[in-house]
Structure 1
Amino acid sequence: MRASCLLLLAGVGAWAWAASGGMMVSSPMSCLPVGDEHRAAVASEVVCAVLCDRLRARAYSFADGACEVRGAGLSSQVGPAARRFTRFAPPAWAVRREVSRGKAGNSSTPYSEGGAYQSAIDEDVTFSHFVSHPSTSLPWWMLDLGEQRLVLSVAALPMNYGADAVHDIEIRVGAELPEGENFTEWALLGEYRQRYDPSEGRLVFSSDAGICGRYVAIRKVVVSADLLRLIDVEVYVAEP
């Protein structure tokens, strides 16, 4: 590994790299953000790093004139602290842990206060559950993990009510909150395109490589009279 190099750009300030090459990050992180990616043809790695800083992004890579910037708008660092880049080195993941309990979240309009988003992460798998309001054509449920995590799987336990059945849902993972209620730019973890049968138990959606993100959403993608009902949702992430 070559020694760190320090460059001074007129009107920009000091920039530092420690062994450039691969994905470079401005601060330690457990996984690389997904979404808000920008690609451009630039003259040098310096220009790519400047673009990363200007977009308040958290990571970039440069090779053969091609610059890729990830996590635009996610960096909280400004000034010189945001201009020191090191090569991304993922941790050695050792364990898989469930992290949904006690987390903040949100949802489309619930049927009642008793059926709000918290009802799907309260460990009561008998009575308490999230249920969407009939006025919402494409209901959704969302969990905020509090920080970027490498999401490995989501295990959702839907609930049918009479002829009302959960069907046609997607599970997506995102780095930042969406515009309005449009989750389509988030990475797709999995989908379920049939009518749920309780004999199936939990529906498990997994990614071997994992998806880096802070938010997890479950949403209906087909308009119907059936409500979105979730008894319980578990989210598993990788930890060193």
Structure 2
Amino acid sequence: MNILRQLTWRLIPFLLAYSFFVHVSECGNIMVSPNKCFVKGGVAIHKARSTLECSSMCISLRGFAYMFRDGMCEVRGVGLGTLKKSMKFSPIVLEEVSRGKTPLSSEPYSDFYAEIKAIDDSDKSFFSNKNGVPQPWWALDLREVNLIHTVVILPMYVGFGRFNDIGVFVGTQLPADGDFTKWPMLDHYQGPYSSGEGRVNFTCTNLISGRYVAVQRVSITYEKLELRDVRVYVIRYPA
């Protein structure tokens, strides 16, 4: 009886995978299901009811890792594994890595508003750049290359909607001219920001890795960049 139970539990993810994505097929670099198309090697995000159902999607899409959170399933590396390898898929673990790292920025307004204020664990202090700086920026040196998943920012709200047209960029070498917009963009926030929004999430939809994470206004304006808190979440795959 115990052997039968163990066999049943091992079969459940595959039965769910069959029922959910039984018609998944490949067409060049695209994985196709009846209602969805997924880029091969990319990320698939879909509603799910449980971790078990999410794991079944990972099997069906032949991904190499998955994460279930808040009713959504995220599968990484779509189509990169064979069905046999997908039987050993791993859950994605996110780790916050900003604390203790080295922040950089365009010239701050003063030492009281220095770049470290964005990662000092206080929502009362904040980073603010000097007046008259076009495309102000703030960056963080993670000291090693990481696979970036999400950057969470709590802007400073002063009633003027200053936090707008903001991009989060990821790279491996600091630009000499302070233009981070040439780096791959993790995500973009158009804004303008209002106080009721709380924290703004910038989430990766592709696999983007780098040593540095930068926050910069995309348009060339002289509006200040003011950040109360920044947190960086990277992907860890359990061994």
Corresponding position: 1:140 with 2:137: yes
Matched, 1:108 2:112: no
Q: Which amino acid in 1 is paired with 2:114?
A: A
- Alignment: residue pair count: 149
Which residue of 2 is the match for residue 66 of structure 1?
Answer: none
Q: Which one-letter code corresponds to 2:130 in the other structure?
A: H
After superposition, the C-alpha distances for 1:174-197 in whole angstroms (9 at most, x for unaligned) are 011113212132110011112101
Whole-angstrom CA distance in 2 between matches of 1:201 and 1:183: 25
Q: Distance in 2 between matches of 1:181 and 1:174?
A: 12
Question: Is residue 98–residue 230 contact of structure 2 (8 Å, CA) maintained in 1?
Answer: yes
Q: Is the 8 A contact 2:132 2:222 kept in 1?
A: no
- The residue identity in structure 2 corresponding to 1:160 is Y
Which sections of structure 2, spanning at least 5 residues, go unmatched?
1-88
Pick from 116, 121, 124: which aligns with 1:123? 121
Cα displacement (A) at 1:93: 6.4
TM-aligned CA distance change 1:152 to 1:128, over 3 Å: same
Q: Indicate conservation of the 8 Å contact 1:132/1:228, yes or no.
A: yes
Deviations 1:95-138 (A, max 9, x none): 1100001100210011111111110001101x110011112121
TM-score (norm. length: structure 1): 0.58
Judge conservation of contact 2:181–2:218 (CA < 8 Å) in 1: no
Partner amino acid, structure 2, of 1:197: S
Helix, strand or coil: the match of 1:120? helix
**Higher fraction of helix:** 2
Match of 1:238 in 2: 235
Per-residue deviation, 1:207: 1.4
CA distance in 1, matches of 2:195, 2:220: 21
Whole-Å Cα distance in 2 between the matches of residues 208 and 138 of structure 1? 25
> In structure 2, what is the Cα distance between the partners aligned to 1:150 and 1:128?
29
What residue ranges of structure 1 are gaps of 5+ in the alignment? 1-90
Structure-1 separation of matches of 2:234 and 2:191: 27
What CA distance in whole angstroms lies between the structure 2 residues aligned with 1:92 and 1:103? 28
The structure richer in strand per residue is: 1
Shift in Å at residue 208 of structure 1? 4.1
- Per the TM alignment, residue 223 of structure 1 is displaced from its structure 2 partner at its CA by 3.4
Secondary structure at the aligned position of 2:223 is classed as: coil
> 1:174: which partner in 2?
171
1:194 maps to: 191
Contact 1:142–1:218, Cα closer than 8 Å, also in 2 = yes
Of 153, 162, 166, which residue of structure 2 is paired with 1:165?
Answer: 162
TM-superposed CA distance for 1:92, in Å, is 5.6
| Distance in 2 separating the partners of 1:93 and 1:105 | 30
Name the SS for the 2:132 alignment partner: coil
TM-score if structure 2 supplies the norm length? 0.59
Q: 1:213 to 1:93 in 2, by over 3 A?
A: farther
4+ residue segments displaced more than 3 Å = 91-94
Q: CA RMSD in A?
A: 1.8
Aligned to 1:14: none
Show the 5 A alignment for 1:211-230.
Answer: 211-230=208-227
Q: 1:76-91, aligned counterparts within 5 Å?
A: none
> Identity percentage over the alignment?
41
